[in-house]
Amino acid sequence: MRGAPIEFWFDFSSGYAYFAAHVIDEVAQRHDRSVLWRPYMLGVAFKHTGARGLSSTPMKGDYARRDWARLARITGLGFQLPPNHPITALPASRAYYWVEERFPEQAHEFARRAFRAYYSEGADMSSPANVAALGEPLGIPTADLEAGLASPPLKERVKAVSAEAIEKGVFGSPFFLADGEPFWGWDRIPMLEQWLRTGSW
Amino acid sequence: MRGAPIEFWFDFSSGYAYFAAHVIDEVAQRHDRSVLWRPYMLGVAFKHTGARGLSSTPMKGDYARRDWARLARITGLGFQLPPNHPITALPASRAYYWVEERFPEQAHEFARRAFRAYYSEGADMSSPANVAALGEPLGIPTADLEAGLASPPLKERVKAVSAEAIEKGVFGSPFFLADGEPFWGWDRIPMLEQWLRTGSW
């Protein structure tokens, strides 16, 4: 891969990030780039922007639910908003960094499975045991991952990454950085791709 | 024109609406549609969603300013954020409905001129006199328009349109409705066009 990795910032409870997670690696690959996946706590950014989750915002919540269903039809991806949405995505975020360090080749697929478990299989992703079990088919030992999830360094890691997001001006999900150029939102992927193709404007 | 008009909802102080205003008529025309321009008071929607203007939101404001400059480079449209942005767009909105009723053929061009005056010529659009003068090159008598701007029915009209926006679930700018299908944001214009092409998903 030539060129610096594209940074893909997201929260595992974000509907638009679910759709982005299924295409971003292919987009990058077409332009000979890798992707650095960076799950973080969107709630930390919300404290800075004063925003709140889409689903719990009047009018916008209705639009988002309709829009996600529409994106599911357009993309052919399954999508079933969990009845308890939004729930904390903290266990999945912590798990991601554990997997990334020990099973880097499986990390993106692990993340996509976490998204699918939440957004099309109705799994309770606030449960560390459920999150840990997602790695099994990828050869990631469930017991080790579950033990790792409770470790203080992993908690600190996600906090530190979330602070890094704020420092970089990242406040949404999905949010992409390519060579420092910021792109906010699923619908900016074509513009991100234009950037990757041309390198400047 | 076949098919129902596309509704284009916007606030004259919205940067993304400025860019949308320069392309929406052409997009519609390609699919044999007309466009119903509907300036409204975005602040009314903000009261429902709890949102606030992009420019005054931490982090998002910085992103938006960078993004607008980027869109200006991409589209070739001039863009110079006024130093006193955002200011009230009420005079321009009122003027729009006055012009639409009396000079319907000139209305869209009048609106584009109002956008350009604000976003690339640094005009103070909170001044009814400045807004009224925009119609002169289009054959719209400045004195008549300025007198109209102060009339109570026009004030009520903009209030009523803004209430209609809320009823229809419109909460952003630009915001499009095509056959009842909602599209929020400048970056959703390609998806709106896909809808116009296919008629369903």
Q: Work out the average pLDDT over A32-38.
A: 97
- Map tokens 């799950």 to a residue: A39
pLDDT at A180: 94
| Residue of chain A with shortest Cα separation from B184 | A63
- The number of C-alpha atoms within 13 Å of B169 and in the hemisphere containing its C-beta is 16
B107: its two tokens: 């209305």
In the structure, what pLDDT confidence band is assigned to residue A1 with cuts at 50, 70 and 90? low
Nearest to B95, CA basis, from B115, B81, B73, B80: B115
Q: Work out the average pLDDT over A44-73.
A: 91
Q: Taking CB atoms and an 8 Å cutoff, what residues of chain A touch B58? A: 48-50
In the structure, what pLDDT confidence band is assigned to residue A76 with cuts at 50, 70 and 90? very high
Other Cβ atoms less than 10 A from the Cβ of A192: the count is 24
Task: Let me know if A65 is exposed, middle or buried by CB neighbors in 10 A (0-12, 13-18, 19+).
Answer: middle
Q: Work out the average pLDDT over A126-133.
A: 96
pLDDT per position as a tens digit, B144-192: 999 999 999 999 999 999 999 999 999 999 999 999 999 999 999 999 9
Flag the least confident range among A59-73, A76-90, B115-129.
A76-90
pLDDT at A7: 98
The length of chain B, given as a count of residues: 201
For residue B73, give how far its alpha carbon lies from the nearest alpha carbon of chain A (Å). Answer: 7
Residue A143, helix vs strand vs coil: helix
The length of chain A, given as a count of residues: 201
Nearest to A66, CA basis, from B55, B201, B107: B201
Residue B171, helix vs strand vs coil: coil
Residues of A at the B interface, defined by Cβ within 8 angstroms: 45, 48-52, 57-60, 62-63, 66-67, 70, 73-74, 166, 169, 171, 182, 184-185, 187-188, 190-191, 201
What rounded mean pLDDT belongs to chain A? Answer: 94
pLDDT at B88: 82
Q: Is B51 close to A57, i.e. CB distance below 8 A?
A: yes
pTM recorded for the entire structure: 0.94
Q: Work out the average pLDDT over A173-180.
A: 97
B30: its two tokens: 């390609």
**Contact by Cβ (8 Å): A171, B60:** yes
pLDDT at B1: 61
pLDDT at B86: 84
| Residue of chain A with shortest Cα separation from B166 | A59
**Beta A175-178 vs A6-10: how paired, if at all?**
antiparallel
Cα–Cα distances in angstroms (integers) from residue B165 to residues A103, B170, B186, in the given order? 50, 5, 18
- The number of C-alpha atoms within 13 Å of B176 and in the hemisphere containing its C-beta is 28
A134: its two tokens: 């997602």
Amino acid at B182: P
Spans in chain B with pLDDT lower than 70: 1
Q: Taking CB atoms and an 8 Å cutoff, what residues of chain A touch B49? A: 57-60
Nearest to B60 among A67, A171, A187 (CB): A171
Q: Work out the average pLDDT over A158-187.
A: 96
Q: Taking CB atoms and an 8 Å cutoff, what residues of chain A touch B73? A: 201
Q: Is A187 close to B185, i.e. CB distance below 8 A?
A: yes
In whole angstroms, give the CA distance from residue B83 to residue B143: 28
Q: Is B190 close to A190, i.e. CB distance below 8 A?
A: yes
Residue B55 phi, psi (nearest 5) = -65, -25
Which residues, in sequence order, are CB contacts of A67 under 8 Å at separation 6+? B182, B184
Is the dihedral angle over the CA atoms A80, A84, A87, A93 positive or is it negative? negative
Q: Pick from A9, A19, A49, A59 the residue to mutate for testing the B interface (most B CBs within 10 Å).
A: A59
In the structure, what pLDDT confidence band is assigned to residue A79 with cuts at 50, 70 and 90? very high
